[in-house]
Amino acid sequence: MTKHFLEIDNLARRFPAKQGELTVFEHASFGIDKGKFVCIIGHSGCGKSTIMNVLAGLDTPTEGHVFMDGREVSGPSLDRGVVFQNYSLLPWLTALQNVTFGVQARWPNWSKEQVREHSYKYLDMVGLGGGAELRKPAQLSGGMRQRVSIARAFAIEPKLLLLDEPFGALDALTRGTIQEELLKICDATNQTVFMITHDVDEAILLADRILLMTNGPHARIAESVKVDIDHPRDRSSIIHDPGYYPIRNHLVDFLVRRSKELSGAVAPETDAQAAGAHPKIVNPAADATAGNTSAEHSAA
Ligand SMILES: Nc1ncnc2c1ncn2[C@@H]1O[C@H](COP(=O)(O)OP(=O)(O)OP(=O)(O)O)[C@@H](O)[C@H]1O
Ligand SMILES: [Mg+2]
């Protein structure tokens, strides 16, 4: 029986290695409710992109299952829009065509004009409507390619957005603008998002929950931290919220110290308490629902 819109049940991914096998991550269980924004944070190489590929249906887990809307994910689908870490645009198409390609597939009955108009809406959103959209990926900068990839994923208005460090190659100004656009879209459309980021401030700004992943190999999702800060949020005022720094300090402490200590070790929640942390910590396997406080405790 599935409880959440997205249900990740005891997922593991192992790859064949020279000696035996490499377990990238294991025992990953969490749920995401419809309309929730969940970020995942962990050190480079711990397996974040590998998890996302499984959620996208592009890779098969060695163990465990992923259910979306009650159905098991078994391949890619237009219900899931993906922004890859390395953009992955079709090099022979222009930026505009990279976007219209997905829009046409999603709404096959739309007229050419409708498809174009809809695609431009999202290209404009990422600041690429002024002529750059007619260029091919090779003629665009890294940041521009990343923006095309964001427009392409958003334009199909998927049930689930999967974002792998989508703002990594952007300058601070563009990054801020797109973060705020993303917040607006999510607030307005009840979009469900799973996003990988290295940026703790970005995670707190955007997420309802932040999953913390221990270092690999044998990485685990150690905790789910609730971001209990009201919407609408914006970058300038969020830092004045009394909840902001306790969460931030908890995340930084995890990345600096506990992600390593917890690798393949002790029960996560107990350790969070020992660290004297203030935000609400949830055992991700027990629950990841924002509204459900049964599995929650304040680590204060
Ligand atoms: N196809 C594969 N075959 C073998 N090992 C792989 C494969 N794909 C990923 N790995 C290994 O899995 C581990 C996790 O990789 P992954 O790309 O998921 O990390 P990540 O957390 O996304 O890192 P980053 O933050 O640097 O993007 C790495 O050690 C990587 O070498
Ligand atoms: Mg990655």
CATH number at residue 58: 3.40.50.300
Asked if the structure places residue 117 within a domain, the reply is no
User: Order of strands across the sheet with 71-72?
Assistant: 21-32, 6-16, 63-68, 71-72
User: How far are the Cα atoms of 114, 146, 243, 244, 280 from residue 47, in angstroms, in the given order?
Assistant: 39, 21, 29, 27, 24
Q: Encode pLDDT of 122-176 as tens digits.
A: 999 888 989 999 999 999 988 899 899 999 999 999 999 999 999 888 888 888 9
Q: Is residue 229 part of a domain?
A: yes
Helix axes 95-106, 142-155, angle to 10 degrees: 10
Is residue 64 assigned to a domain?
Answer: yes
272 falls within a domain: yes
- For residue 77 and ligand 1, the question of a CB distance below 6 A is answered with no
Residue of 23, 25, 26, 49 to test ligand 1 pocket, by largest number of atoms within 8 Å of CB: 49
Q: Which ligand is nearest to the CA of 213?
A: 1
Tally of structural domains, the chain: 1
Task: For residue 232, report the distance from its CA to the centre of ligand 1, in Å.
Answer: 35
More confident residue, 205 or 19: 205
**Which carries the bigger pLDDT value, residue 267 or residue 248?**
248
Is position 275 within any domain? yes
Residue 17 near ligand 1, beta carbon < 6 Å: no
| Residues near ligand 2 ion, CB 5 Å cutoff | 49, 85
33 in a structural domain = yes
Q: State whether the beta carbon of 48 lies less than 6 angstroms from ligand 1.
A: yes
Show the beta-strand stretches assigned E in the chain.
6-16, 21-32, 37-41, 63-68, 71-72, 80-83, 160-164, 192-196, 209-213, 221-226, 280-282, 296-298
Q: Is residue 132 part of a domain?
A: no
Single out the residue of 119, 123, 180 nearest to residue 147, CA to CA.
123
Tens of pLDDT, residues 174-222: 889 889 888 888 888 889 999 999 999 999 999 999 999 999 899 999 9
- What pLDDT is attached to residue 286? 61
Is residue 213 domain-resident? yes
Percentage of residues in the chain having pLDDT higher than 90: 69
| Structural domain span for residue 239 | 6-71+160-166+192-298
Residues 6+ apart with CB under 8 A from 33: 4, 5, 192, 288, 289, 290, 291
User: How much is the pTM?
Assistant: 0.89
Ligand 1: nearest atom to the Cα of 42: 21
